[in-house]
Amino acid sequence: EAKHNGKSSYAHFSPEMSEVSHERLQMESLMRRALELNEFELHYQPIVHTETGKLQAAEALLRWNNPTLGLVMPDRFIPLAEETGLITPVGEWVMQEACRTAVGWGKTTGRSIGISVNVSPRQFRDPGFFDGVMSALRSSGLKPELLELEITERLLLDNSIETATILYQLDKAGVRLSVDDFGTGYSALSYLKSYPFDVLKIDKSFVNDVNKEPEDASLVRAIINMAHSLGLKVIAEGVEEESQADFLRREHCDYSQGYYYSRPQTGKDFEGWLKSTHRIPV
Ligand code: C2E
Ligand code: MG
Ligand code: MG
Ligand code: MG
């Protein structure tokens, strides 16, 4: 970086910058030990059938519980985990834990619950990624059809043979694939026909204003229609209000997820709730 600063070959550190990098370094060193200290945990958010409100699956969402930093949300540490490569072991743990948990729910409740796991680009590109997924399925005994991997458009920007190959291998293994945050990336839509995706997750920024901004309503409607004509299912993210749920029902959006139905919950709470009801209480 310093080289690009022109005349001087020294980077100019302001006090704020060194504070930021100090915080970063501290976070990085704490993160390096977080796995062995068991500081990560998964929370689960229901994904429901829009029409009936019945549970379809759960999305696993990572949290980091650190004595110094407190409860750290993924937007604060996933980017650093990606930069440092720590996302690979952390992501492997997430995959194992999510699959194991879904199988546990199946045993205690007698119901097959799908589980969605977020995968970041660096994690996906790790040469051991595919084997890691297979090993999580094997050791947990989860049916591949119950596992859905959420991938962002960012991954597809590289247009690489390797990425395509892994996507096809996963598809062949029976794992479901979804495009997360659909509509926020800069990918060309043509990837939808070249890769074996099953699901589009409409980003919450579009869902937010479906009843306030006619343009957002049009976009959501268009995404749903396009997805359906390509044979894909649609999940709306960030559903917070009844009026949004009503809109999505009218537009035949297959599945919905958001605070209106439920916030992400601990595995224990989610299981307790699973045992007590088949529907989301709204
Ligand atoms: P995402 O995959 O798009 O997950 C949805 C995010 O929206 C979650 O935030 C969820 O708690 C939040 N959300 C759900 N319903 C609502 C709603 O009605 N309104 C609003 N405003 N937000 C809602 P969270 O848990 O903070 O996760 C943020 C992002 O971090 C995720 O976005 C995902 O990209 C990433 N992430 C989470 N867990 C993992 C993981 O295990 N691995 C990787 N690589 N990334 C993860
Ligand atoms: Mg997601
Ligand atoms: Mg498939
Ligand atoms: Mg999303």
Nearest ligand 1 atom to the CA of 120 is 44
Residues 140-169: what's their mean pLDDT? 95
- pLDDT, one tens digit per residue, over 172-203 is 999 999 999 999 987 788 899 999 999 999 99
Q: What is the pLDDT of residue 252?
A: 98
Read off the pTM: 0.93
- pLDDT, one tens digit per residue, over 231-267 is 999 999 999 999 999 999 999 999 999 999 999 999 9
- Asked whether 149 and 133 are in contact (CB, 8 A), the reply is yes
Ligand 4 centroid – CA 50 distance (Å): 17
Compute the Cα dihedral for 26, 27, 30, 31 and give only its sign.
negative
Q: What is the pLDDT of residue 1?
A: 39
Ligand 1 atom 22 nearest Cα? 238
Pocket test for ligand 1, best of 97, 99, 117, 237 (most atoms within 8 A of CB): 237
Ligand 1 atom 37 nearest Cα? 61
- pLDDT, one tens digit per residue, over 101-138 is 999 999 998 889 999 999 999 999 999 999 999 999 99
Q: What is the pLDDT of residue 118?
A: 98
> DSSP strand E in the chain: where?
40-49, 55-66, 70-72, 114-118, 147-152, 176-182, 199-202, 233-236, 255-256, 265-266
Q: With a cut of 60, say whether residue 5 has pLDDT above it.
A: no
Ligand 2 centroid – CA 201 distance (Å): 8
Q: Which tokens is 29 given?
A: 């060193």
